Amino acid sequence: MNKNLFLTILLAPAMMLASYAQSGKANKALLVKADETLQFAAKQYKLMMTHVPDSVLPRTTNTKDGSLMTSGSGWWTSGFYPGTTWYLYEYTKDPAFKAEALKRMAIVQKEQYNTRTHDLGFMMYCPFGNALRITGDTAWKTILLTSARSLVTRFNPTVGCIKSWDHGTWKFPVIIDNMMNLELLNWATRVSGDPQFEKIARIHANTTIKNHFRADYSSYHVIDYDPATGAVYQKKTHQGAADSSAWARGQAWGLYGYTLMFRDTKDKAYLEQARHIADYILNSPRMPADLVPYWDYHAKEVPNALRDVSAAAVTASALLELSRYTDKTTGKRYWQAAEKMLTSLCSPAYLAKAGENNDFILMHSVGSLPHNSEVDVPLTYADYYFVEALLRYKQWAK
Strands of the chain (E only): list them: 57-61, 68-71, 155-156, 161-162, 173-175, 222-225, 232-236, 365-368, 373-377
383 is catalytic: no
- Give residue limits of the domains in the chain: 21-396
Cα–Cα distance measured from residue 330 to residue 32, given in angstroms and rounded to the nearest whole number: 25
- In this prediction, residue 15 has a pLDDT band, given cuts at 50, 70 and 90, of very low
Tens-digit pLDDT profile for residues 138-175: 999 999 999 999 999 999 999 999 999 999 999 999 99
What predicted TM-score, i.e. pTM, was given to this entire model? Answer: 0.95
Tell me, yes or no, if 177 is annotated catalytic.
yes
Catalytic residue of the set 65, 166, 177, 216? 177
Q: How far is Cα 236 from Cα 223, in angstroms, rounded to an integer?
A: 6
Per-residue model confidence as pLDDT tens digits over 368-392:
999 999 999 999 999 999 999 999 9
Q: What is the mean pLDDT of the chain?
A: 94
Q: Is pLDDT at 254 greater than 60 in this prediction?
A: yes
- Alpha carbon distance 236, 165 (integer Å): 14
Mean pLDDT of 88-111: 98
Helices (H), 213-325: 248-265, 268-283, 309-322
Distance of CA 58 to the CA centre of its chain: 17
- Residue-wise pLDDT tens digits, 291-348: 999 999 999 999 999 999 999 999 999 999 999 999 999 999 999 999 999 999 999 9
Q: What's the pLDDT score for residue 2? A: 45
- Of 119, 296, 359, 383, which residue is the catalytic one? 119
- 21-396 CATH choice from 1.50.10.10, 3.40.50.460, 3.40.605.10, 3.90.1170.50: 1.50.10.10
pLDDT over threshold 90, residue 4: no
User: Residue 296: beta bridge partners?
Assistant: 247
22 pLDDT exceeds 60?
A: no
Is the predicted pLDDT of residue 3 greater than 90, yes or no?
Answer: no
